[in-house]
């Protein structure tokens, strides 16, 4: 019993280390891709000086942040100022605890290692709940700076984030009705059994979810919090060095979470397109390249990475395309369009499920 407990904890530690390093290391890559993609869309080259065609640019940027002085303004509330970036970062990371990265686990030394850190019965609700704490860190960061731009930026962001949290949560309800479970693994399994990605019956839900997700992560065109022309850079104006870096990493981690939830909920997670059409089995290419358990594991991982990347690309595409909204426009999109639409989507989904005889 004691040794079994010890092994369980050891496996968790290994899983957590892998997931955390994957997330943390993907941030420089995401930033580089963002600059390259937007550069391409605007007929520019993007970063090109550090390393071959600018590949090492964000590594250099990260090192630079590390070497900068850690300035805490003399009017700031010192401890709250120090703590606020952590309150934003930690929930953004912890949400990854329930994200399934592939469908089949690995057997190493006779121990089964699942491709997710843990599978909670309240999966989706866990992510929503833990993400909602991030807002708190943003307000505290702005307040602790004791300076007008951060304070205004923090109030704006907080009001924006809470406004979009409601449609975000409601948009997922339709998918949950199809899935009949809130467990992240269970949702993907339900899509395998239903022979369909929930994107198909939940187009409206998916669109609402992703729009709300973009707003929730304070990304363009909803990046009013850091509208540099009016607020310098919003709630983190006074932050410098690695503390600013933490906010930055948290932003990208949150984008990954939004993408991962969309992948799991609406796009079949680790499943290939049309998982029930057998002649498409060749799409799981790793099944033919790698031996034994590694094949399905890598194929699943590949699909998750591809789908998440598509959403991240969509983020960049939207950023390069749309101008920033005004604050009143932002609020009316959230409250007057997405919210009623999300409610209608839920009732519509309910009626559809009954009509299809999928209940009872």
User: Which 195-234 residues touch other proteins, going by CB under 8 A?
Assistant: 232
The H or E element containing residue 66 is helix 57-67
Which CB contacts under 8 angstroms, 24+ apart, belong to 335-338?
335/163, 338/164, 338/167, 338/171, 338/208, 338/211, 338/212
Comparing CB distances to other proteins, the nearer of 190 and 214 is: 190
Distance between alpha carbon 101 and the CA centroid of its chain, in Å? 13
Residue in 52, 110, 291, 360 binding other proteins, rule: CB under 8 A? 360
The residue within the footprint of other proteins, chosen from 55, 80, 204, 290 (CB under 8 A), is 80
Task: With beta carbons less than 8 A apart as the criterion, state whether 90 and 137 touch.
Answer: no
Interhelix angle for 203-216 vs 148-179, to 10°? Answer: 160
Residue 174 or 268: the one with the smaller Cβ distance to other proteins is 174
Per-position DSSP letters for 178-210, written without gaps between them: HHS---HHHHHHHHHHHTS-TTTTTHHHHHHHH
Number of residues engaging other proteins in binding (CB under 8 A): 107
Helix and strand numbers, DSSP H then E, in the chain: 14, 2
CB of 334 to other proteins, least distance (A): 9
Q: Tell me the per-residue interface mask from 328 to 357 with other proteins, x by CB under 8 A, - otherwise.
A: xx-xx--xx--xx--x--xx--xx-xx---
Between residue 234 and residue 293, which ones bind other proteins under the rule CB under 8 A?
A: 237-238, 241-243, 245-246
Of these, 41, 59, 90, 113, which contacts other proteins (CB under 8 A)? 90
Q: How far from each other are the two terminal CA atoms of the chain, in whole angstroms? A: 42
- The residues in 30-49 that bind other proteins, with binding defined as CB under 8 A, are none
Asked if residue 153 binds other proteins (CB under 8 A), the reply is no
Q: Which is nearer to other proteins, 72 or 211 (CB)?
A: 72
Chain mean position to CA 246: 16
Interface residue with other proteins, options 159, 260, 304, 312 (CB under 8 A)? 159
| The one among 177, 208, 271, 312 contacting other proteins by CB under 8 A | 177
Other CB atoms within a 10 A radius of the CB of residue 332 amount to 13
CB of 255 to other proteins, least distance (A): 17
Which residues in 54-73 contact other proteins (CB under 8 A)? 65-73
Contact call for residues 101 and 299 (beta carbons, < 8 A): no
Cβ contacts of 102 within 8 Å, gap of 6 or more: 115, 270, 296, 297, 298, 299, 300, 301, 304
Task: Provide, rounded to whole angstroms, the least separation between the CB of residue 158 and other proteins.
Answer: 6
For 81, the token pair is 């100022």
- Identify the residue among 81, 96, 101, 197 touching other proteins (CB under 8 A): 96
**Cβ closer to other proteins: 133 or 290?**
133
Residue 24 or residue 306: which is nearer to other proteins going by CB? 24
């Amino acid at each position: 019993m004691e040794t079994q407990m010890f092994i369980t904890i050891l496996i968790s530690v290994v899983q957590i280390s892998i997931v955390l390093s994957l997330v943390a290391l993907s941030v420089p890559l995401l930033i580089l891709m963002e600059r390259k993609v937007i550069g391409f869309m605007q007929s520019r080259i993007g970063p090109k000086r550090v390393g071959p065609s600018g590949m090492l640019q964000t590594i250099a940027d990260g090192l630079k942040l590390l070497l900068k002085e850690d300035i805490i303004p003399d009017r700031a509330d010192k401890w709250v100022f120090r703590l606020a970036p952590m309150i934003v970062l930690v929930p953004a990371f912890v949400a990854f605890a329930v994200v399934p990265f592939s469908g089949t686990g690995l057997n190493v030394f006779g121990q089964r290692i699942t491709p997710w850190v843990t599978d909670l019965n309240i999966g989706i609700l866990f992510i929503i709940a833990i993400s909602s704490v991030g807002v708190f860190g943003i307000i505290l960061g702005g307040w602790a700076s004791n300076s007008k731009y951060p304070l205004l930026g923090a109030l704006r962001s907080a009001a924006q984030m809470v406004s979009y949290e409601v449609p975000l949560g409601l948009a997922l309800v339709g998918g949950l009705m199809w899935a009949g479970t809130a467990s992240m693994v269970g949702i993907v399994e339900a899509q395998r059994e239903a022979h369909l990605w929930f994107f198909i019956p939940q187009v409206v839900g998916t669109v609402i979810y992703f729009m709300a997700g973009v707003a929730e992560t304070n990304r363009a065109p909803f990046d009013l919090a850091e509208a540099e022309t009016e607020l310098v850079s919003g709630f983190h104006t006074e932050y410098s060095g690695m503390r600013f870096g933490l906010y930055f990493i948290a932003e990208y981690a949150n984008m990954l979470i939004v993408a991962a939830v969309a992948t799991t909920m609406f796009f079949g997670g680790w499943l290939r397109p049309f998982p029930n059409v057998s002649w498409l089995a060749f799409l799981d290419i790793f099944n033919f390249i790698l031996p034994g358990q590694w094949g399905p594991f890598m194929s699943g991982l590949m699909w998750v990475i591809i789908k998440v990347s598509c959403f991240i690309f969509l983020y960049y595409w939207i950023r390069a395309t749309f101008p920033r909204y005004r604050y009143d426009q932002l609020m009316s999109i959230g409250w007057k369009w997405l919210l009623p639409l999300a409610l209608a989507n839920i009732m519509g989904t309910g009626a559809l499920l009954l009509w299809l005889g999928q209940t009872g």
